[in-house]
Structure 1
Amino acid sequence: MSNTPLTPGIVPGRLVADAYVHNFDDLVPVLDAHEALVAADRCYFCHDAPCITACPTAIDIPLFIRQIATGTAESAARTIWDQNILGGMCARVCPTEQLCEEACVREAAEGKPVEIGRLQRFATDRVMAAGVHPYSRAPSTGKRVAVVGAGPAGLACAHRLAMKGHEVVVLERREKPGGLNEYGIASYKAPHDFAQAEVDWLLKIGGIEVRTGVELGRDVTLETLQAEYDAVFLGIGLGGVNDLRLAGEDLRGVRDAVEFIAELRQQPDKQKQPIGRDVVVIGGGMTAVDAAVQSRLLGAQNVTIVYRRGLERMSASDHEQNHAQQVGVRIICNAAPVEVVGKDGAVSAVEFAYTSEGADGLTLLEDRFTLKADQVFKAIGQVLVAPAGMAGPKLAARPMAGVWAGGDCAAGGEDLTVTAVAQGRDAAEEIHNSLMGAVG
């Protein structure tokens, strides 16, 4: 639970108990065996399939769907995991509507793509439920690699390195491994503690030691890791959050959306999670949408997302925007906050100015409006908190000799689990080639 002081309007238990169970259950139910066969039958099994190109991890999608269609879900799961070892979580949270399913030939022809994400979940869930881990380690190389950060990039890197025969130590600053999957994703997208179940399954490969509560720069230095290990992978994510830089930002009831999402993810009884009656979310990305939707699911009566640019510029997908509106979230675009208004030390409203975007950038107009608020979530982006000597908005994939980086902290990171997995996997291959080249 956050130490952030609450306002009188921020209270738990706004809904009846059963509502929380329903609201925070699976957003999309898993396919049963018959439904999976029907869904798989819609695939054309394209040669040179565009869905593969659209997948950041380049899963052979037609192959795994054909394997489902022939009743071999185990083979389908292996096809997925060969490219994306966190395929179970990606099946739940990946924006398939913008990636593989948008590229699907069925989408172009009929406006209804093959349900690739649900089929991927069917295969991976089925095999994980059986307790199967289809990978084994190569003979030991005698090499040790430190992986900093147990998020999607770090876990993907660690698993691939362990499979190659290296000993891997994962250092994670939080209490649990999982990173974005454990702390940064809306609770209703991955309920029933799936993130930890997937981590436990991944670690069955062996050769991976996870040490939690260890933070780079506080408990260990990069120089120490370089001296003690044969290679280092940095998957540290983005530890900082942008401020509004407005008067009233420090009022009670104003907090970072990422902190709220993480807190809710760790709350086993959602009925105990306090929420305001009138909630304002500032931002236009997935974090803003997740914070807004979950505010409604917790019982907030009025929830408004305010974004400074046009609707088409929101980084949250059309699918996510539509879902937010379907649960009762209002979206206001072309408006930017100018002041957080308070009463008795707590937020009571937010004043906004309408904006205009031109050749010279964004301009605040004189036209203003005010939204009542007893709770405000800031979701205007995260920033890298870089290790000493590596300052910059992003880390290079190879920031220095013997050190690799991937995921949100690295150049090319897109705040997507699937992209982070791809970068961690690819870095592991580079590390392995570098280490084994040094041996030869």
Structure 2
Amino acid sequence: MAEGLYKEGIAAQRLPSDQYPKNFADLHPPLDRHEALVESDRCYFCYDAPCMQACPTSIDIPLFIRQISTGNPLGSAKTIFDQNILGGMCARVCPTETLCEEVCVREVAEGKPVQIGRLQRYATDTAMARGVQFYEPAASTGRKVAVVGAGPAGLACAHRLAMHGHHVTIYEARPKSGGLNEYGIAAYKAPENFAQAEVDYVLGIGNIEVKNGQMMGRDFALAELAANYDAVFVGAGLTGVNALQADGEDFEGVENAVDFIATLRQSPDLSQLQVGRRVVVIGGGMTAVDAAVQSKLLGAEQVTIAYRRGKDDMNASEFEQDLAASKGVTIRHWLKPVRILAENGKVTGIELEYTEIRDGRVAGTGETVRIEADQVFKAIGQTFDPMPLNGSGSAIAMEAGRIKVDDEGRTSAPKIWAGGDCILGGDDLTVSAVAQGREAAESIHRTLSDRSPAAI
């Protein structure tokens, strides 16, 4: 093992330079044509399609698989894109093992489902590689719509509105579009700059203008957009990070997992990224697993995930948990942070308390354990910051810290819709955000198609 691995503290270049590309290679290599044909032949093309019912975007899965089996990957891609224009990324990052593949009849009968996600990737990658655009804007309606956020919800909304002939302007705070697809998922899930390739593909329909570096509450107010556009869709993500509620959270070496992942995703040279020798990640979701696994792939010697509940309560899927274990990550349950240990202001470890369920709630037992660490990542959930939203003058109803919407994505404010992680009921899945953006776009289109001012 490389000598650099044993550097104390947080350091870069823990591995030989040629090891990083290998560690961060594509998690699931794409199917070739022969493999796709063989796998598609395993589908029973069920008439009641439980897989389709489990898909948040309601893709006609039996149809797109049949199209692959008959040698028509472009037709298959169109079937997918008709419902999910970000089908390429969803094929890579969706927890298919708990959605479509979990209810596959092959899974129920044999324990080996049809690889729906990989077949979806085969079809969408084929269309994108060939530069095939299936859609073009309808005749201009003369209507203008503003979209806040160029993440999955915003992009899906913008694309569907452009199809209907509306002109869309997206306001995105970050330098790049894509949202969590660009900044928030593990690098090995979407290598080779796929997130930006997909953004370019989505914008290829035309009628969509993107203004990057534009932050709501700083560069523009929501009330301004509502005054200047016929409709507004808010697809802002979650910008706040929950606190550990442990002493010493401000010590050097305690970091937000989402910031770590974003930095890694934008790094031109992974060998220059600093990572601890002993890393502890607090949390039980996908972000926790992504931060932990990538710490290990960067050369961390010991990586531990600590979660306050049991294995079955983790938001990370069983596949993700198994992936972490396969990469050498230790997952410890029934532990919550008490205080960060440090010397000279730098993290040396973390003290955690064992937990149990008492009266239906997680409670500490009083027994503690210490884990040595020089780096601690917080991955215990993100929050939506409503200040830029309601500080603009538009009083939008909130509930449980998120934007309250109806079944069509309408907020309480006239002319304003919302979708994605920022809304009440958002489940932090790319595929769900796409579905919400698409459905909000249809609602906006129906509203704008009625020319009476009272309808807007």
1:360 Cα shift? 4.7
2:8–2:277 contact (8 Å) kept in structure 1: no
1:394 Cα shift? 1.0
1:133 Cα shift? 1.1
Query: Residue in 1 aligned with 2:422?
Result: 409
Distance 1:175 1:28 in 2: 28
Distance 1:396 1:280 in 2: 35
How does 1:10-409 map onto structure 2 within 5 Å?
A: 10-386=10-386, 387-388=389-390, 389-390=395-396, 391-392=398-399, 393-397=401-405, 398-399=410-411, 400-409=413-422
1:175 Cα shift? 0.4
Structure 1 residue 425 corresponds to structure 2 residue 438? yes
Distance 1:199 1:159 in 2: 11
- Listed one character per residue, the Cα deviations across residues 352-378 of structure 1 (whole Å, up to 9, x for unaligned) are 110011215121112111000000000
Distance 2:306 2:8 in 1: 23
Query: Residue in 1 aligned with 2:450?
Result: 437
Gaps of 5+ in 2: 1-6
1:131 Cα shift? 1.0
1:8 Cα shift? 6.2
Distance 1:145 1:42 in 2: 44
1:24 Cα shift? 0.8
- Listed one character per residue, the Cα deviations across residues 196-226 of structure 1 (whole Å, up to 9, x for unaligned) are 0000011110000000000111110111001
Distance 2:292 2:340 in 1: 18
Q: Structure 1 residues 360 and 45 mapped into 2: Cα distance closer, same or farther (>3 Å)?
A: closer
Distance 2:414 2:118 in 1: 41
Partner amino acid for 1:203? Answer: L
- Listed one character per residue, the Cα deviations across residues 132-162 of structure 1 (whole Å, up to 9, x for unaligned) are 1111110000000000000000000000000
1:439 Cα shift? 5.1
TM-score by length of 1: 0.97
TM-score by length of 2: 0.94
Query: Residue in 1 aligned with 2:4?
Result: none
State which drifts further: 388-397 or 165-174. 388-397
Distance 2:356 2:420 in 1: 34
Distance 1:409 1:8 in 2: 40
Distance 2:95 2:219 in 1: 36
Q: Structure 1 residues 46 and 14 mapped into 2: Cα distance closer, same or farther (>3 Å)?
A: same
Distance 1:280 1:310 in 2: 17
Distance 2:110 2:363 in 1: 41
Give aligned pairs, total: 434
1:28 match: secondary structure? coil
Q: Which runs of 4+ in 1 moved over 4 A?
A: none
Q: Structure 1 residues 319 and 360 mapped into 2: Cα distance closer, same or farther (>3 Å)?
A: closer
Distance 1:193 1:139 in 2: 33
Partner amino acid for 2:441? Answer: A
1:57 match: secondary structure? coil
Partner amino acid for 2:417? Answer: W
